[in-house]
Structure 1
Amino acid sequence: MRTLILALGLAITSTAWAHNCPNEMQAIDAKLATKPQLSKENADKVAKLRAEGEALHKAGKHTESMAALGQAKKLLGI
C-alpha cells in the first residue's frame, strides 16, 4: 500500500512539474515587459532560451524545457 501511495505521489508531482513550463514562460515574459537592463548578448541568450523552452515544452520534453527556462530566468535575475 505504501508503495502505491508513493508511486501515485511521484506521478502527481512529475505531472505538476511538467505543467509549470507555461508559468515559467509567463514569468520570463513579464520580466521582459519591464525592459530589464541586459547586454545585447544576454538579451539574445534570453530570447533564444525562452524560445527553446517553449519548443521543448510543446515537444513534451518538460525537464529540458524547465532547464532552458531556468537559465533564461537566471540571466534575468529572477
Structure 2
Amino acid sequence: MRTSTHILAALVLLSASGIALAHNCPNEMKAIDAKLATKPALSPEDSAKVTKLRADGEAQHKAGNHDASMKSLGDAKKILGI
C-alpha cells in the first residue's frame, strides 16, 4: 500500500512538472523582450534571426507546440547571451 502511494505521488509530481515547463514559454518570451529592450549589440543578421525565432516561438506556443516553442526561444536566448 505504501509503495503505491509513493508511485502515485511521483506520477503526480512528474505530471505537474511537465505542465509547468509547457507553460514557461511566456517567461522565455519576456526574458527575450527584456534583453531586446536594452538594445544589445547584435549584427543585423543576428538581430533578424532573434526576431524571427522569437516570433516563431510565440506562434508555436499559441499552437500548443511547446517543445518547438522552447527550442526556438532557447536558440534566440543563446544568440542574445542569456
TM-score category of the 2 structures, normalised to the smaller one? over 0.9
Structure 1 residue runs without a partner (length 5+): none
Instruction: Determine the structure 2 residue equivalent to 1:72.
Output: 76
User: Counterparts of 1:4-23 in structure 2 under 5 Å?
Assistant: 4-23=8-27
Q: Cα distance, 1:7 vs. partner?
A: 1.1
The CA RMSD measured in Å over matched residues stands at 0.7
* Matches of 1:3 and 1:67, distance apart in 2: 31
* Matches of 2:69 and 2:9, distance apart in 1: 28
* Matches of 1:48 and 1:13, distance apart in 2: 28
Q: How many residues align?
A: 78
Among the aligned pairs, what percent are the same residue?
Answer: 62
Q: State whether structure 2 residue 30 is matched by structure 1 residue 26.
A: yes
Q: Secondary structure at the match of 2:76?
A: helix
Q: Cα distance, 1:63 vs. partner?
A: 1.1
**After TM superposition, which residue ranges in structure 1, 4 or more long, deviate above 4 angstroms?**
none
Q: Secondary structure at the match of 1:36?
A: coil
Per the normalisation by structure 2, the TM-score is: 0.91
Q: State whether structure 2 residue 29 is matched by structure 1 residue 44.
A: no
Per the normalisation by structure 1, the TM-score is: 0.96
Q: State whether structure 2 residue 39 is matched by structure 1 residue 35.
A: yes
